[in-house]
Amino acid sequence: MSANGYRDYFKVLGVERSADADAIKRAFRKLAREYHPDVNPGDASAEARFKEISEAYEVLSDPDKRRKYEQFGQYWSQMGGGSGRGPAGVDVDFGRYGNFDDFINDLLGRFGGPGGPAGGGGFSGAGAGFPGGFGSGFPSGGFPGGGFPGAGRGGAVNLDAEATLQISYADAFRGCERTLAVNEEKVQVRIPPGVKPGSRLRLKGKGNLQPGTGRRGDLYLNLKLITHPVWRLDGDQLRAELPLSLDELALGGEVTVATPDGEASVQVPPGMSLGRSLRLKGKGWPLKEGRGDLLLTPVLKLPANLSDRERELLEQLRQARSADPRQDWISAARL
């Protein structure tokens, strides 16, 4: 500082007067890490230096303050650039921050830079809010579809966040518990039985943290069911294809089928059409009241390799067939 109280903020940060916003931010981050009191415990000179570079960044990171500073020098704050108490000071209560990055993000936000109050300590980037990962079911790439904090209506800070949680059909059907790592905190999540794709769970007070205020938003988990080789959900109904042989489709009879609860026997009517479905009431997906229905749609399953006897019988069937299966179809297709 000069004898008249003037601080050359560019020299304080070690940058040229022509430095752009990114260069100023980089210089501040480097110096802030070097002189942070946590790195220099009990060092009064380091703390004073830290406040000095924070003050310099506050002015040079704000386009309006920087313009006045460059135009009026030591008198810039008297031209509407500050609070009227001389060069802008920074009062720092280091004990209220959980870690250094929380402090830096809060400081950048207070000085008008990105990563401010809404972003500090939260989901600011791909997976950054969950440094330990989500555990089973969460993608490693971050948060598809957004859900990051930002300014809401009227400039209000939105601290809520969203993430996608993938679970199996078995876990969705029966319900389960998951332990998630959220901002270095272990959170137990109970997923109730019968959740569906697109279901949304709210974890109150587990969203983004606003450093220095203690405010914290909610975390919303969007549930995604991992594709199952057999089952699929259609509204409240659980569906699956039912493989049937040629003779079962033609002659009908009792067959063994799979249900979510295990095996069951159902009666296939003779001449079962491939367009129809067998309905098993109360054997489907868990609902708020009871269970939905299970719909099994027949599909013809032919053996990969026919035995000689099977081939012989099919040849006999060909010779004995009394109707052309395409006769009505060909007639209806004429234009």
| Same domain (yes/no): 54, 145 | no
d(CA 161, CA 203): 10
Domain of 79, CATH number, reads: 1.10.287.110
Half-sphere exposure of residue 211: CA atoms within 13 angstroms, side-chain side: 28
Q: Residue 157's pLDDT is what?
A: 59
| Same domain (yes/no): 217, 253 | no
d(CA 258, CA 264): 6
Q: Residue 231's pLDDT is what?
A: 94
Please state the domain count of the chain.
3
Q: Is the pLDDT of residue 77 over 80?
A: no
Helix, strand, or coil (residue 266):
strand
Q: Residue 90's pLDDT is what?
A: 44
Q: Domain span at residue 45?
A: 1-92
d(CA 25, CA 113): 8
Among residues 202, 227, 252, which one ends one of the domains? Answer: 227
| Same domain (yes/no): 241, 327 | yes
| Same domain (yes/no): 182, 206 | yes
Q: Residue 6's pLDDT is what?
A: 67
Among residues 198, 227, 256, which one ends one of the domains? Answer: 227
pLDDT digit string (tens) for 1-32?
544 456 789 999 999 988 998 899 989 988 98
% of the chain beyond a pLDDT of 70: 72
Domain of 189, CATH number, reads: 2.60.260.20
Q: Residue 118's pLDDT is what?
A: 34
The confidence band for 324, taking pLDDT boundaries of 50, 70 and 90, is confident
| Same domain (yes/no): 294, 321 | yes
C-beta of residue 255 within 8 angstroms of C-beta of residue 235: no
Q: Residue 128's pLDDT is what?
A: 29
pLDDT digit string (tens) for 31-52?
988 888 777 888 888 888 988 9
Among residues 227, 260, 293, which one ends one of the domains? Answer: 227
Tell whether 18 is covered by a domain: yes
| Same domain (yes/no): 207, 277 | no
| Same domain (yes/no): 181, 217 | yes
